[in-house]
Every structure is written in structure tokens, then in C-alpha cells.
Amino acid sequence: MNLGVIASNRGTNLQAIVDACREKRLDAKVSVAISNNSKSLAILRARKAGIPAFHISEKTHPSPLDLDQAILNILNTHDVDFVVLAGYLKHMGKKTLLAFPKKVINIHPSLLPSYGGKGMYGRKIHEAVLKNRDTETGITIHYVDDGYDTGEIISQLRIPIDSSDSVTSLTNRILKQEHEFLIATLNCLISKERSCRNTV
């Protein structure tokens, strides 16, 4: 299966996918990477691995329709079968979503529908979770629709919150588990053999 990975910043989940493919833990190939940030580590990680990587954003395509078409063109040019949003902070265009029905997934560091929506990502989520004194948090992988974090849930992983947790410790602990959980869910989706609800 050819994967297209779209990320905005550090690209650690992209790296996890690249490593899993190389180590034969995931029967797939990252065919292309896209970032809306020309200076993102995601682009550097992809190019270091020999993967074509492109900066596509409002700076390169000011029109939302043109931006959507540009992303779709790149995915099609590189024969992408499945799209992974791995820390992509922008909204996906309708044309791309229509071209990849139930083939675009996103990983989100909370138990959706809690702490989802526009502007809820990364440390902002963990700050809110701790402020609300929640006893658990988690990771959600879901299909992408035309809303923010509103698509059908594929899999979730519940993670207990320690009384000693800070925003930094919670961020680091969840990110580490994101990598393993994403690979497990992708393997489940590729195999199509079982429900992915309880993947790990």
C-alpha cells in the first residue's frame, strides 16, 4: 500500500511510519510527504529517507480550491492509496476527501469527541486535560471528514493520567504511545481482518 503522509511540524509520526516500513513492521511504503510548513522537520525527515516531499500551503496556493487541487495532484502523481494526517494542523479540502473516501485518517491526542475541534492540538489539549483534573486521556485515530475531528472513530487508546503529570510529561508520554498505536492501527486497516477498536 502506498501512503501519503501530511504533517505540519516535527514529523515524528511520519518518522515512525517510515521506520516501521523499513523494518517490515508495516506492509506499506511512504510514497510522498506534504507539509504546509516549508521549514518543517517533516520535510527534512522525508527527504533524508529518500521520500519526495513538498511544501504546499496558502503561500504557494492562496486560493483554497487551488490548494486542495495541488494536494490531490501530488497524491495522485505518486499513486497514493491511503493518506495519513500526522500532525497536520490545516483543514483538508473537499476534492481530496471525495477522491479518497474513507482513505484519509488523522491521529489526535485526546479521546474524541472530548478536546477536539479547531485550535485543539498538541500541548493545548494536554493543558486543558490537566486543568480539568481528568483522570484519563488518550489517543484517537479517525477517518477525516469536512469538519475538525468529527469523522468516524477507528480506534482509541485510553491512557491514565498520573497525579505527578505535567503538560510536558503528558505530552511526551502520549507522543511515544502515538507512534506505536498509529502503526498498530495502520496494520489493522491494511489487513482488513478485524475491528480496529481495540488495536493495542
147 marked among binding-site residues: no
Buried b (16+ CB within 10 A) or exposed e, 166-189: ebeebbebbbebbbebbbbbbbbb
Contact in structure between 18 and 30 (CB atoms under 8 Å): yes
Torsion (CA) 132, 133, 139, 140 in degrees, nearest 10? -40
C-alpha cell at 86: 500526522
Q: Which of 120, 117, 67, 57 is nearest to 94 (CA)?
A: 67
78 is catalytic: no
| Residue 99 main-chain phi, psi, to 5 deg | -75, -20
Residue carrying the nine cell digits 490537566: 130
Contact in structure between 83 and 6 (CB atoms under 8 Å): yes
Edge-to-edge strand ranges of the sheet holding 82-85: 53-55, 29-35, 2-7, 82-85, 104-108, 136-143, 153-160
Residue in 108, 126, 142, 179 annotated catalytic? 108
168 marked among binding-site residues: no
Q: Which residues contact 157 (CB under 8 A, 6 or more apart)?
A: 138, 139, 177, 181, 199, 200
13 marked among binding-site residues: yes
106 marked among binding-site residues: yes
Binding residues for (6R)-10-formyltetrahydrofolate: 106
Residues marked as binding? 11-13, 106
Catalytic residues: 108
